[in-house]
Chains A and B, each alone.
Chain A
Amino acid sequence: MFLEVKNLTKSFEDTHVLKGIDFSLEKGQVLSLIGSSGSGKTTLLRCINALETADGGTIYVDGNKIFDAALLNNKKKSQLKNKLNFGFVFQSFNLFPQYTALENVTLAPIQHIKDECKKNKKSKAECKALIEQAQENARELLCKVGLSDKMDLYPCQLSGGQQQRVSIARALALNPDVLCFDEPTSALDPEITGEVLKIIKELAAENMTMIIVTHEMSFAKDVSDKIIFMDNGVIAEEGTPDKIFGSSTNERLHSFLSSFYGAHKV
């Protein structure tokens, strides 16, 4: 298994948000997390990305332990692999307003190159070549998400859909093993959610490993290899889209989906 999450728990004060989550994902698979608000989907995604520190459990990527709550508690953090494994796309984009679309994408890679050069005392010419390569890569990524003519615009000059596409390019620029989306279209107008979903579908076709928290049921059904339905901090049901949307007999899932489709019919 490429990504393995074992017995992840997380509480905020007295609220148990995650009550022992176990799941795994193969390389190249797309996993969707669905469930009602407050079921713990976003917290799970944030724990995997170290935006929250889980209280218990372990996470492995490609056989390397990247998180272990027991080691954290004993202050043996150094035993964990420190490599950047995940990319994260936020619901509210979180682009850096003072930088252009291109600069948003290149900021982190260039910073990493500079840090690396300083650490290993590389020559100036070598660094410059690496930075130019990073810029070229960023341009290619922006073209890929369909923003070849918007590279030098600032976030405030872009629409929500365009901003979200920049933020996808920004996450891709660091070559993540797993790309995570936290409700990537929830802050967008219904007309422009399509342009973001299209990009995600293209990435899925290129075998990008992805975890997507979403309320877009038909999209989840379409794009996912695996769907996890979360309810009240536990995985209530998991399986292929066919199972989740067809053969599952889980009652909570049924009432969730029927309320969902019911709302859509209105």
Chain B
Amino acid sequence: MNFLEITLDLLGGFGLTCLLFVLTLLFAIPLGLVLSFCSMSKYKAVKTGSRVYIWIIRGIPLMLLICMIYYLPGLLGKGASFNIFDTIDRYFTSVEGASELLYHGRFCAVLIAFVINYSCYFSEIFRGGIESIPQGQYEAGQVLGLTQGEIFRKIVLKQVIKRILPPMSNEIITLVKDTALANVIAIPEIIRRAKDMAATEALTWPLFYTAVFYLLFVGLVTVLLGYAEKRLSYFKA
């Protein structure tokens, strides 16, 4: 394999990394918002329940969570033969090209694990942001006759976004690199492919070469988040 071939192969793996990154954000952010509302609920059962859930998920290593989600349904079901992800796998294999794109049910299992894990971290960031908005902002909205929903959307939300951008940037950058954990159940993302090369072609440098991909991607994310922060710098909150 020459340099170009290796780059293209790694790039293919990195595509899977990016897909996992984008889909995780897409699902985990709304889910995290719902969770944060639950953890601030005035109903004690909802509040306690969601906080215990967050404690459990944040307490389990993501790598373990991926394994649990992928293997446990099979172990709990009718012996090891039953696995919903294998079913998904078979479905995708029957559709031309889809199997390649999603890399079988494994990708679904990884995506679910990432969404579950990251939505918990996001929800705590959202909760911190929402609770840091002074009571006076809500009261000002209230005496102006705005509804709770209007107060949240028109007054609080933008201030929350401004406040949570720095911790969210941290979490998003961590996510870029956490995608590498998908290789524990043999998703052929970039690290997996580099390790395969080491095994089959006796090439070790591609593994270190993958850092370049991550660095460039994190650079891009940093620039985008920096831009968002700058866009919100016109006010103090």
Residues of chain A touching chain B, judged by Cβ–Cβ distance below 8 Å, are 49-51, 84, 86-88, 90, 92, 94-98, 107-108, 111-112, 154-156, 170-171, 174
A39 to B143, CA, bound (A): 23
Which 9 A-B pairs have CB atoms at the shortest separation, nearest pair first? A108-B144, A94-B140, A94-B136, A88-B143, A156-B236, A97-B235, A84-B145, A97-B237, A98-B235
* B139 within 8 Å of A (CB atoms): yes
**Complex contact B137–A96 (CB within 8 A):** yes
Question: Using Cβ atoms and an 8 Å threshold, which residues of chain A touch B236?
Answer: 97, 154-156
Binds A, one of B9-17, B121-129, B150-158: B150-158
Question: Using Cβ atoms and an 8 Å threshold, which residues of chain A touch B154?
Answer: 107, 111
Nearest CB in chain B: distance from A103 CB, A: 10
Nearest residue (CB) in A for B153 is A111
**Complex contact B143–A92 (CB within 8 A):** no
- The binding surface of chain B is classed by DSSP as helix
Nearest CB in chain B: distance from A193 CB, A: 20
**Complex contact B139–A154 (CB within 8 A):** no
A-B pair count, CB < 8 Å, reads 54
Q: Which of B155, B162, B234 contacts A96 (CB under 8 A)?
A: B155
What are 24 A-B pairs with beta-carbon distances under 8 A?
A: A50-B142, A51-B139, A51-B143, A86-B143, A90-B140, A94-B134, A94-B136, A94-B137, A94-B139, A95-B140, A96-B155, A97-B159, A97-B235, A98-B159, A98-B162, A98-B235, A108-B144, A108-B146, A111-B146, A111-B150, A155-B235, A156-B236, A174-B144, A174-B145
- The binding surface of chain A is classed by DSSP as loop
Nearest CB in chain A: distance from B73 CB, A: 46
Interface residues on B, range: 20 to 34
A173 to B141, CA, bound (A): 13
Question: Using Cβ atoms and an 8 Å threshold, which residues of chain B touch A92?
Answer: 136
A9 to B136, CA, bound (A): 23
Question: Using Cβ atoms and an 8 Å threshold, which residues of chain B touch A112?
Answer: 145
A86 to B144, CA, bound (A): 9
**Complex contact A156–B140 (CB within 8 A):** no
A141 to B150, CA, bound (A): 24
Question: Using Cβ atoms and an 8 Å threshold, which residues of chain A touch B137?
Answer: 94, 96
Q: Which of B141, B143, B235, B237 contacts A49 (CB under 8 A)?
A: B143
A170 to B162, CA, bound (A): 24
**Complex contact A156–B143 (CB within 8 A):** no
- Kindly list 9 other residue pairs between chains A and B, CB separation below 8 angstroms, not including A86-B143, A88-B139, A98-B159: A88-B143, A90-B140, A97-B235, A97-B236, A97-B237, A98-B162, A107-B144, A154-B236, A174-B145
Question: Using Cβ atoms and an 8 Å threshold, which residues of chain B touch A96?
Answer: 137, 140, 155
A124 to B139, CA, bound (A): 31
Most A CB contacts (10 A, CB to CB) among B141, B145, B146, B150 go to B145
Nearest CB in chain A: distance from B165 CB, A: 14
Most A CB contacts (10 A, CB to CB) among B144, B145, B150, B158 go to B144
**Complex contact A51–B136 (CB within 8 A):** no
Question: Using Cβ atoms and an 8 Å threshold, which residues of chain A touch B136?
Answer: 90, 92, 94
Question: Using Cβ atoms and an 8 Å threshold, which residues of chain A touch B142?
Answer: 50-51
Nearest residue (CB) in B for A90 is B136
Question: Using Cβ atoms and an 8 Å threshold, which residues of chain A touch B237?
Answer: 97-98
Nearest CB in chain A: distance from B133 CB, A: 10
